[in-house]
Structure 1
């Protein structure tokens, strides 16, 4: 079975792959993985820092999550 990722990376059965195409595929995959796995952790860390500051009296509590 040929998946969309296989076609993107390999260009299809027997088609040569240019280095630029491979680099683009890797860049896109890196961006997607960063968005899915790293960004939620960054948001949580920022949220925790903001909540800690609020607990210390640095600013009034927010009603937003």
Structure 2
């Protein structure tokens, strides 16, 4: 019974820490290699996380975790 209570308290602590984690962002700008002009409406993906976004008219993107 004591072991079960310890496990429940630890699980509750772990869940509260997971909820309190800050949001991480990846931000950047996609530009054309030669002209250095921003590229709009380009799909950007983070492999392994299945997260992505699309650049805006200025070539900027933001991906939140």
User: For this structure pair, what is the TM-score category when the shorter chain's length is used for normalisation?
Assistant: 0.3 to 0.5
Which fold has the larger relative contact order, with Cα–Cα distance below 8 Å and residues 6 or more apart in sequence? Answer: 2
Give the number of the structure whose residues are more often strand, by fraction: 2
Bigger helix share: 1
